Amino acid sequence: MRSYSLFTILLLCLAIFLIDLAAFYWLQSITQFIPSKGLKLAINIAFWVFTIGLITAIIILKVKLDDINPTRKHLLISSFYGLTVSSFIPKLIFVIVISVLYFTNFMFSETESLIIVPIVGLFSGFLPFFVIAYAVFKAIYHFKIYHKNIKFNHLPTAFNAFRIVQISDLHLGNFNYRYNILERAVKLINNLKPDLIFFTGDLVNNYEWELRGWQEVLEKLEAKHGKFAVLGNHDYGDYSQWETKKNKQDNFENIKDFFNKINFKLLLNDSEILEKDNNKIAIVGVENWGNPPFKQYGDLKKALVSSQNTPFKILLTHDPSHWQKEVIEQTDIALTFSGHTHGMQAAINVGKKQWSPIKYKFEHWAGLYKIGQQYLYVNRGLGWLGFPGRLGMRPEITLLTLECTN
């Protein structure tokens, strides 16, 4: 909520109130079938206690936001975000469906409409509520392994069948020190027997204190030929006000140092040459590069200097928009790994097709893309940000296998 003005928050609260007012009006067409006046009164009171309580809490949180301890702030914001979505969306759908049914009830007789309209309206409200509840309490940590094979005609033969695991966007602060959750992901990753592990940014939300206790979990990640990482937009501390520049810089340095503690090589506009049986590939990593308002710390030209003579290059860059702007048709980078989008943590899946509103912001937002002979893989993220749930967009562990075509 920090990035929104008080006026915007008040508009949100007004929208919540108006939708709840309409929902309450239509709710009476359902509670009329309850014979107990006491029960109906209890339902009505509970309805408005929740609504007024939620609106009041949102306003108080906004007004007091700067005075709240940072260790609790982002969790409070995410909790109210989830509570608001879980309340607002089902009620909105309920109001729309029951209104449409009521004003088009020529399809039913008057007697039928008195029964059918309330039942269908009630179902339309409860169904999205349960879907959202599943997203918050189950799907959010229901890790999924996405396995892709990619063939290259210039991949050195020593790297044929090389197994790369990618993870991204942990946002560790949102786990609230529940180490056992990520321990399950670590076991899944290690069972894949990866040759390399890549982490493509957003280790934290903003602060180095979010890392407390996570070393013992993340240092257990195992890869035969190394673990590499780059930074994401949230790893620089840009989304907070700092008392001094030194405080921000110290925060940033501690986040960078954490990668050493978990045995990841952090690539800061640099390359690492990987050699196997006299064959070489280059792992190139840039700092965060994004379209405004995201800052551009990344310097791809600088990162490529030490790998100019290595024909097969793999790039790690947090924001997938970087691929289109500076990589394809401008470099000889064969494969790029990115994250950042989270797939918006929401999608509609029909067969093998997946659709999300995030596609209107990012052209490349989840999965594998190819232009010419260059590939991009966008990881859907292992953690979450904002809405504490995932709808049709499970947290991802990527397993990508390299293959030679010759």
For the stretch 117-145, pLDDT in tens is 666 766 776 778 888 889 888 999 999 99
Mean pLDDT for all residues in the chain: 90
Q: Following DSSP, what letter does each residue of 60-121 receive, concatenated?
A: HHHHHGGGS-HHHHHHHHHHHHHHHHHHHHHHHHHHHHHHHHHHTGGGS-HHHHHHHHHHHH
- One-letter identity of residue 39: L
Average pLDDT estimate for 300-310? 95
At 43 the three-state DSSP class reads helix
In sequence order, the 6+-apart residues with CB closer than 8 A to the CB of 100 are none
Q: Both tokens of residue 260?
A: 């050493």
First to last CA, the chain: 54
All CATH 3.60.21.10 domain ranges in the chain, comma separated:
143-404
* Contact status, residue 294 vs residue 325, Cβ threshold 8 Å: no
Name 228's bridge partners: 198, 265
CA distance 297 to 382: 23
What is the CA 58 to chain-centroid distance, rounded?
A: 23
- Residue 70's pLDDT is 64
Of 363, 391, 389, nearest to 378 by C-alpha is 363
- pLDDT of residue 112 exceeding 60: no
Specify the DSSP element, H or E, that contains 398: strand 396-404
Of 136, 141, 193, nearest to 164 by C-alpha is 193
pTM for the whole structure:
0.86
The residue with greater pLDDT, 132 or 182, is: 182
Provide the CATH topology of domain 143-404. Purple Acid Phosphatase; chain A, domain 2 (3.60.21)
* Total number of residues shown for the chain: 406
Residues 221-254 pLDDT 10s:
999 999 999 999 999 999 888 889 999 999 999 9
Residues 2-47 pLDDT 10s:
456 788 889 989 999 999 998 888 888 778 778 888 988 998 898 8
- Residue 159's pLDDT is 97
- One-letter identity of residue 391: L
The percent of residues above 90 in pLDDT, for the chain, comes to 64
CA distance 97 to 120: 8
The residue with greater pLDDT, 83 or 175, is: 175
- pLDDT of residue 404 exceeding 70: yes
* Contact status, residue 358 vs residue 365, Cβ threshold 8 Å: yes
Specify the DSSP element, H or E, that contains 284: strand 279-285
